[in-house]
Structure formats: structure tokens, C-alpha cells
Amino acid sequence: MSEILLNAIDVQKSYAGVKALRSASFELRAGEVHALIGENGAGKSTFIKIVTGAVEPDRGHLEIAGKTIAGNSPTISKELGVAAIYQQPALFPELSVAENIAIGYEHGGFFGRVDWRARREHARELLDRIGARIDVESEAGSLSMPQQQLVEIARALGAEAKILILDEPTASLSEDDTNNLFRVIRGLREQGVGMIYISHRLEELPVIADRVTVLRDGQTIGTRVVKDVSRDEMIKLMVGRELSQIFPKREVPIGNVALELRNFGSRKAGVKNINLTVRAGEIVGVAGLVGAGRTEFARAVFGIDEADSGEVFLNGVPIRNSHPRDAIRRNIAYLPEDRRKHGVILDLPIASNVTLASLQILSGRFGLNFGKEQELAAEYTRRLGVKTPSIHDSVATLSGGNQQKVALSRWLLTKPAVLILDEPTQGIDVGAKSEIHALMTELAGEGVAILMISSELPEVLGMSDRVAVMHSGTIVKVLERDEATQTEILALALGHGAAAASS
């Protein structure tokens, strides 16, 4: 039996009367990847904050590195070998890679002097330990997200971390970058590092995790050996019910063409010769590999990046969206991929986020009608099932899935005729995914034309009436629902299919 690095028993925590953790128990062994899963709001973030010392539990037993912890803190946690790497890397962008790594372990030299050569050499050794080829003199801000994650892992190793927390580490990674991260994780496992792996991508767990613990409503529901539990069983443990249909697609009446693109292109966005139609009540999925131009295509349609070729028709009428306000005025809505950067304003209250795109209907002779703002915000957060004690709380207090619901509610309030969704369920749990998919089906039933960009082929296949496949900045083929398969989509995405666009 391997050494137990972390043992948490019956950990409890409440915020203003709301129980974030009712009874959470978790064990981590040396050389183990132990997955922690649960719906948004299940208590995962609170539990991690307690382990890292950011939050004090109300009750329970917590033992780290064989020591019972009575009063944890970030300093104590770090000294005991705990390090956390979050979905958004926490590096200093203006500092070099070597300087960022040194922050994790240096405490100042003789008379405060820095041995720059030794610092750079040690940084190289730590990066070599995980097989990362990164220039230690590069500015951290110039690195890709996968590279920044590797720098954070190297920094944790420099601080002699024995417990590594990985929070949604693959949410924004390509398949190749994910495989490389898994290689690094396996290497760390062989070195005896224990890792808590948090992910909503259940298909990853059999590949990388040894055990899995499920949290639901702040309680530990159970711990299983990963190879002995199926994906369906994990879902049932997470949601407390049978989830027979993650993609609740149903047939709805398809109306006239709402959005039509003819030879559409944007040099700035890097997209060209796009021909596509989206009908009222139809969900058209947009698939393709990273770099195919899917997000850039959406930005150009919405007017963020200027379109300089081709034609766009809305309900048969030619239009030109030179700016997002033009698109909004025409009832075209766009939910961007990065919700934290572009989808919501974290510091603003939930109510203000919900109504941000509809201020014209709240404006009167004497300014904004705050009573109406509260009324609409309450209505839409209730409709989308946003879990929050109050609409006056900041969006930053919400889980990822609830942040996505707030971002989506903002656009639903504009009563869109065309809704563009870029990775609508990225980084959220299976229960929240099902809710958003159900909402998409409901909107389609109301006649909204939906353009859905997704990197998850099961989502594309499960929710789309047709699938447009992109390669090298253009749509190479549009597949009907009954002819779309993972094999066919991947072949087209790799450039092994039709060379001309089709609608």
C-alpha cells in the first residue's frame, strides 16, 4: 500500500447558511492520479480551497503528509508539498520562464543577490524532468497555454510538491497537447507525486486516472477504481439519477432560411469562400480541428472582425455587420468561447450581466429602470436554473456552468433570431451540459436558428440537424444528420474529403 499523502474525513463548510460541503471525504496516495468529479456546485472548488489553505473548514479531519492540520493556510499547505494548477495559468506574463519557476522555491540569496546562471540552470533541469522544451529566458506571456501549464508544473516540482492539484487541465487543449500533458502526468506518477485530477471530460478518466471520487451536493457519494466503473455509472453517481440522454435532441419544425452566407470571407479572420445556410429551428454544428478557423468565422459573422468578401442575408435581406452592435440590432447573438474573458464580467453582479446587452429596454427619461432590471434578471436566471443565493452576487462567485448560463441568459433576453454558440458546454459538468442542450432544443422549437461550434464530436453529432466541417479557414462540406459520422467528420477536418464548400 502506497503512502497516504492526503486524508480528508467528513469535511464541512458553509457560506452564509449555504452548505458548500456537507460531508466530504477523500484520500490520495503517493504515485496515484485520483480523479475528483461532480456537477458544478457539488463542492469540488470548496474542497480544493480547503486543501490549499485558502479556506478554513467548519468541521472535519484533514491530514496532509501525515500531519493533522488544525489551522491550514496557503503557506502551511505549500510547506507540506501541496500545489494547485488551475484552468487559467497563474504566471507573471512579463517575467521570464526562469523567474516564474524561481518564485515557487527561492527565498532570497546572500544579501538578496540572485545567482542568475544557477536560476536558469535549475529551471532547465525542472523542465527537462517533465520533458518540456521551453526557453527559460522567454517571457511567460509569450507562451501558449499548454506551455504555461508545463511551466507551472515545473514550478510546483521546484517547490518539492508531493500533492499536485490539476483543475480542468485539458479544457482548452488540443488532442496533441492533451496527450503530451498525460505523458507528463504519467512521469510524475512514476516519481511518486500524488495528483488530484478534476475534469468534466469523463472519457479522459480511464486513460489517466487510477481512482475516482464523486461529490454530489457537498457529499462524497463514493470512491471507485476507474477500470471497474463505466461512464454511465459515473454519471449516475454524479447526478443521482439515470441520465439516459445527455443530448436531448428532438425533432422540431424547420422553417425558412434565417441566415445565409455566400462566398463569405474575412482576411483579418483568416476565413474564405464560406457558403452556408441556417434555417429557423435548425441547429447547424460547426466541426473542425484546432486552427481550422471556427471561432474566427463566428467573430466575422458577428462583426467583431471585418468581413471583406461575399454576402450575408438575414431572412432573405442582405446585411452587413460592421460592428457587433449591428448584429445585436438585427437580433443576432454570439456566445463566445472564453466565457471568463468575453462572456461575462466577473466583478459585476449577476443582474447586471444578464441585462448588459438589453440596456435599451431598461433606459428611460431618468436613466436605467433598476426595478425592471431586477425583474428580468430574476426571470432569466430562474428560467436557466442559475444556482445562486442572490442575483446581486458577483458572477465570480458562480461555478463554471452557472457562469455559462448567465452569459447565455444575456443573449436570450435580446430575443435572438440567430444564436451563435462557440463551445457552449466547454469546461462544465455533464448535468449542466444536459441542461444547456435541453435549452438549445427548446430555443430551436421556438424558431431560433442556432449555429453551434464544438470540439466535442459527440455533442456535434448528438445536437446537430446538419454538420458543417471546416478545414483551413473554409467549410469543405455540409453533412446531413443521417450521414454525419465521427469518421467522416474527422476525414473532412483533416482535409481528406471534399475540396469545395457546400450548403
CA–CA separation, 502 vs 268, rounded Å? 23
Whether pLDDT at 7 is above 70? yes
Residue type at 288? G
SS3 assignment, position 251:
coil
Q: Which numeric CATH code is attached to 4-239?
A: 3.40.50.300
Q: What is the largest CA-CA distance in the chain?
A: 76
Cβ pair 155, 90 in contact under 8 A: no
Burial of residue 430 (CB within 10 Å: 0-12, 13-18, 19+) is: buried
Q: What percent of the chain has pLDDT over 90?
A: 49
Give the CA angle between residues 422, 202, 147 to the nearest 5°: 65
CA–CA separation, 41 vs 216, rounded Å? 8
* pTM of structure: 0.58
Is beta strand 18-29 parallel, antiparallel or unpaired with respect to 4-15?
antiparallel
Cβ–Cβ contacts within 10 Å for residue 73, how many? 13
pLDDT of residue 417: 95
Residues of CATH 3.40.50.300 domain(s) within the chain?
Answer: 4-239, 250-331+416-503
CA–CA separation, 439 vs 137, rounded Å? 48
CA–CA separation, 47 vs 68, rounded Å? 16
Cα 11 to Cα 20, 28, 37, 58, distances in angstroms: 10, 15, 16, 8
Cβ–Cβ contacts within 10 Å for residue 22, how many? 17
C-alpha radius of gyration, the chain, whole number = 24
Cβ pair 195, 32 in contact under 8 A: yes
Which grid coordinates are listed for 394? 458577483
What is the signed CA dihedral for 417, 418, 423, 427, rounded to 10 degrees? -10
Whether pLDDT at 172 is above 50? yes
Q: 250-331+416-503, what's its fold? A: Rossmann fold (3.40.50)
Burial of residue 426 (CB within 10 Å: 0-12, 13-18, 19+) is: buried
Q: How confident is the model over 75-116, as pLDDT tens digits?
A: 999 999 999 988 777 889 999 999 999 987 766 555 567 778
Q: How confident is the model over 155-166, as pLDDT tens digits?
A: 988 888 999 999
Q: How confident is the model over 228-277, as pLDDT tens digits?
A: 999 888 878 887 754 445 677 788 999 999 999 999 999 999 999 999 99
Q: Mean pLDDT over all residues of the chain? A: 87
Cβ pair 119, 98 in contact under 8 A: yes
Cβ pair 185, 178 in contact under 8 A: no
pLDDT of residue 339: 67
SS3 assignment, position 66:
coil
36: enclosing H helix or E strand: strand 33-37
Q: Which residues pair with 477 in a beta bridge?
A: 469
Q: Which residues pair with 274 in a beta bridge?
A: 264
Whether pLDDT at 17 is above 80? no
